Chains A and B, each alone.
Chain A
Amino acid sequence: MRELAGKLLRMDRRVIFVLIALATLIPLLHPIGFPVRVSPEVKQVYDYIESLPPGSVFLLSLDFDPASKPELYPMAVALLNHAFKRNLRVVGMTLWVTGTGMAEKVVSGVASEYGKRRGLDYTFLGYSPGGTNVIINMGQDLTAAFPTDHYGERTADLPVLQGVKSLRQVNYVVSLAAGTPGVESWYLYGKEKYGFELGGGVTAVIAPGLYPFLDTGQINGLIGGLRGAAEYETLIGMKGKAVAGMDAQSATHFIIIGLILLCNLFYFLNPRTAVRSGSLREAGR
């Protein structure tokens, strides 16, 4: 048994790769559809958008690159669907240059599904260099920060931005972020000074770090990872890629849990372990 434990501890990692691949593929091909429980932090974002009267200005900053697409793209789709359903004036933008094409595609794509007209119901401002300075610039004068939108139209002439001189006139900002600049930047350089309401959507890796901001009300809600996106899809009654991905995530999580438990079982069964622990104690002296 102990010999076997030693051998299994030295298992070829390709075996683990195959297990993860199967755990991801099988549920994607044959989804089960376990119910998704909605957490309060996601519900708060949903409730705030629900509370906005039609015509309110909703700014969605897609601060991520293609690497984070699996987690944040479904979030963007769900939020845009909700905003367009509520007839909000949608303003899209990005602080990440590598996310520009992807961000434009999702904003214009969802808008066309609802028959929304560019410049009138929504606009995509695109990317502007400067990171956090873009936020300060927008807070001071939006048309100075973005003289034209992504399509070359003058922002001062856009009906969708009528009455929006700066971030002070924006009713709700949601930053979908995979790093910096992201949610924290929007709080520090934006909400703190210009007083708009802010929500966040981030990758699962970043989400735990933003809970202090949620707790103090510095952000009014938080959508974390693919799970958060699935929760939002559930709330708006539009089960998309995130809900479909939850079965795969369930399976991979369970594979990893199983591997961790096995690893510890083998670790304590392995005859070398006791020796190593002993030598560590010796070294400690």
Chain B
Amino acid sequence: MTLFFRRTFPLLLTFLFGVAAAIQYYIPHPVSEAALTEVSVWLRIILGFAMILGIASLCHVHYAKIRTRVAGWGYSLVVYLSMLATVAVGLWSSGQEEGTGFGWIYTYALLALQGTMFSMLGFFVASAAFRAFRARSKEAAVLLVAAVVMMFGRVPLGEYLIPAAGPMAGWLLNVLNTAARRGIIIGISLGGIATSIKIIFGIERSYLGGRD
């Protein structure tokens, strides 16, 4: 019975819902549409619970770091403190608009911190470009030339100095890049379809937790 609920029942549900979702797409009947509406609401409720799982997992990971005093465990403490502070302020302040406590945390902590993290990328990219962007081979040289043309053509100063840089960068994006990306997208899509079929028919079972 335990094995049935742990393995057979989830596989059966996956098969039923997988096949039903695939068939539903081609049936524009009101009953079929109503079923999709209902299922999409249920899915969102389930995903809401997934957030609780995520928070639990986050707490578990950082608790383990604090308990074992691994390098940088202090940051895990910061995660706990900031999370608890945000929840407390969120419950205490009625609303999330600017002017409320939660709004203040959002604007002056989250916005500033995330902005700073992303801004630092620019500095690291420049440093990495200086150290690693070398024409060690023909392929690397092609990549290097393409990158320089792109950087020239995507800024007004580059187009001002070399008017052909803009159209050249556009050609790189619209022709070479599109051709390569299209191949990648087709590959990913075929892989996605194959994986979906394997999951629906119970061939791929890793989502069950691997305890067969």
A-side residues, CB < 8 A to B, are 11, 13, 16-17, 19-21, 24, 34-37, 39, 65-70, 98, 100-102, 104-105, 128-131, 133-134, 136-137, 140-141, 144, 193, 204, 207-209, 211-212, 215, 225, 227, 246-247, 249-257, 259-264, 267, 277
Assuming the A-B contacts A130-B47, A140-B33, are A255 and B126 also in contact, with contact meaning beta carbons closer than 8 angstroms in the complex? Answer: yes
CA distance A246 to B147 in the complex (A): 18
A141 to chain B, nearest CB (A): 5
Assuming the A-B contacts A101-B107, A259-B130, A264-B134, are A144 and B37 also in contact, with contact meaning beta carbons closer than 8 angstroms in the complex? Answer: yes
Among B118, B131, B144, contact of A67 (Cβ-Cβ < 8 Å): B118
CA distance A48 to B155 in the complex (A): 25
Is B152 a contact partner of A134 (Cβ separation < 8 A)?
A: no
Question: CB-nearest residue of chain A relative to B159?
Answer: A37
Among B125, B156, B173, B178, contact of A250 (Cβ-Cβ < 8 Å): B156
CA distance A277 to B137 in the complex (A): 10
Assuming the A-B contacts A35-B156, A130-B43, A259-B126, are A101 and B37 also in contact, with contact meaning beta carbons closer than 8 angstroms in the complex? Answer: no
Is B166 a contact partner of A34 (Cβ separation < 8 A)?
A: no
- Tally of chain B residues near chain A (CB < 8 A): 57
What residues of chain A lie closer than 8 Å to B111, measured between beta carbons? Answer: 66, 69, 101-102
B129 to chain A, nearest CB (A): 5
What residues of chain A lie closer than 8 Å to B131, measured between beta carbons? Answer: 263
Among A24, A134, A208, find the residue whose CB has the most chain B CB atoms closer than 10 A.
A208
| CB contact list, B163-203 vs A, under 8 A | 166, 170, 173-174, 177-178, 181-182, 185
CA distance A141 to B34 in the complex (A): 10
Knowing that A101-B106, A130-B47 touch, tell me 4 more A-B residue pairs with CB under 8 angstroms. A24-B122, A69-B111, A249-B155, A251-B157
What residues of chain B lie closer than 8 Å to A137, measured between beta carbons? Answer: 37, 40-41, 44
Among B119, B156, B174, contact of A215 (Cβ-Cβ < 8 Å): B174
Pairs A–B under 8 Å by Cβ, sample size 14:
A13-B130, A16-B123, A35-B156, A130-B43, A193-B25, A207-B173, A212-B185, A215-B178, A246-B155, A247-B157, A255-B126, A259-B126, A259-B129, A262-B130
Is B114 a contact partner of A65 (Cβ separation < 8 A)?
A: yes
What residues of chain A lie closer than 8 Å to B134, measured between beta carbons? Answer: 263-264, 267
Among A37, A105, A129, A246, contact of B48 (Cβ-Cβ < 8 Å): A129
